[in-house]
Amino acid sequence: MSRYDIVFIGTAILDSVIKGFDPEPVSVAGFRAESGSINAGGEGVNGSIASAKLGMKSALLCFLGNDQAGDLIEVELEKSGVDTSCIVRTSENPTPVTTIFVAEDGNRKSITNNAHSYNFHPERYTDRFTDTEAVVIGSLFRAPFNDPDVIRAVVTEAHAKGLMIFADTKIPNFRKLTLDDIADSLPMIDYITPNEDEARFFTGEEEPEKMAAAFLAKGVKNVILKLGGRGCLFMNRDETIYMPAYKIDVVDATGAGDSFMAGFVSELIRGSDVRDALAFASACGAICTTAVGTGTALCNREQVLKMISDQ
């Protein structure tokens, strides 16, 4: 048996979440908001915590600075049952801190800084992510996966070990990268999960099925296109599945995609077929949006199964 079910590789960030921000100043230097909170975040943190809550043996490979922000994140991970032995702590770079403004409809905008561009090298720690059933690349096209050599090294090692490889995507920020830049790595990725805006950016297409087909044409085996309130589209060379969204009152959409990924991977590992895994993943993402903070609302697998049964 593998040491882990899932190893997430990605960023760990301390999120300062401001909900209901009023842009009208109340004084020369003062503004108001409905609420403010501090949460451990970043796709690697979000996904690993969600999968641990779903009963998976989860680990996170990331870097954290030797600072208070890093300490807070590691404590939160351990409290949620995530194995933190794969984390690399360093004094060379600070832990990234993000300020997130959440609108009334749950959509958000964020402020990053140079700490987010530190290009951690997960390929130097292959012993920490190969004793597992699945590897999840949290943000393809963002650090540390905004370097074609890093991407190639990680997916080649995971592929050689026979691991399932999942990759979520982000639109590039500090370093521009295209699908053509990583053409040799894409055929080794089993599932890629862009949202609609990301898929439009990378493919130039406007229709969901054409977006998904463009990824398949580059060699990816399976594509899951997240369509927000319209659900998601799954496509491979043999079938196409549309999965509608669950009806829910959205409070904060932060981390919903990471919960979706955690739910999908965990159910595949449990032996579910793609359709059932998509339904489960969609419920995980929906539950995540019902509270402020990425790890607040999702509690366990039973909660997810109840939502599926109820709706």
By percentage, how much of the chain surpasses pLDDT 70? 99
Residue 268 lies in a domain: yes
Share of the chain above pLDDT 90, in %: 72
Residue pLDDT, tens place only, 205-214: 999 999 999 9
Q: What is the pLDDT of residue 254?
A: 76
Count CA atoms closer than 13 A to 138's CA, side-chain side.
Answer: 29
Q: Tell me if 207 is assigned to some domain.
A: yes
Which range (42-51, 157-166, 168-177, 269-278) has the least confidence? 168-177
pLDDT band at 106 (very low <50, low <70, confident <90, very high): low
Structure confidence by residue, pLDDT tens digits, 10-39: 989 998 888 888 888 898 889 889 888 888
- Give how many domains the chain has, as a whole number: 1
Q: How many C-beta neighbours within 10 Å does residue 161 have?
A: 15
Contact present, 82 and 32 (Cβ < 8 Å): no
Residue with tokens 């090298």: 121
Q: What is the CATH number of the domain that holds 83?
A: 3.40.1190.20
The answer to whether residue 25 sits within a structural domain is no
Long-range pairs of 122-125 with CB within 8 A, sequence gap ≥ 24: 122/9, 122/61, 122/150, 122/154, 123/149, 123/150, 123/153, 123/154, 123/157, 125/61, 125/86, 125/88
Query: What's the pLDDT at 291?
Result: 84
**E-assigned strand segments in 194-272:** 222-226, 232-235, 240-243
Higher pLDDT, 174 or 130: 130
Residue 53 backbone class (left: φ over 0; alpha: ψ -120 to 50; beta: rest): alpha
Residue 20 burial (C-beta neighbours within 10 Å; 0-12, 13-18, 19+): middle
For residue 244, pLDDT over 70 is answered with yes
Question: Judging by beta carbons within 10 Å of its beta carbon (0-12, 13-18, 19+), is residue 188 exposed, middle or buried?
Answer: buried
- Comparing 64-73, 80-89, 245-254, the range with the smallest average pLDDT is 245-254
What contacts 108, CB < 8 A, 6 or more positions away? 100, 101, 102, 252, 253, 254
Inside any domain, residue 293: yes
Contact (CB, 8 A) for 284 and 298:
yes
Return the C-alpha torsion angle 199, 205, 211, 217, nearest 10: -110
The model's pTM is 0.90
Cα atoms found within 13 Å of the Cα of residue 131, Cβ hemisphere only: 12
Residue 26 lies in a domain: no
pLDDT band at 250 (very low <50, low <70, confident <90, very high): confident
- Specify if 225 maps to a domain: yes
What's the mean per-residue pLDDT of the chain? Answer: 93
Write down the pLDDT at residue 143. Answer: 85
Is 27 within a domain?
no
Average pLDDT score over residue span 266-274: 97
> Whole-angstrom Cα distance, residue 239 to residue 233?
11
Indicate the pLDDT class of residue 187, thresholds 50, 70 and 90.
very high
Nearest to 230 by CA among 286, 284, 272: 286
For residue 262, give its domain range: 4-20+33-310
| pLDDT computed for residue 20 by the predictor | 86
In a domain, 28, yes or no: no
Helices 68-79, 43-53: crossing angle, 10 deg rounding:
20
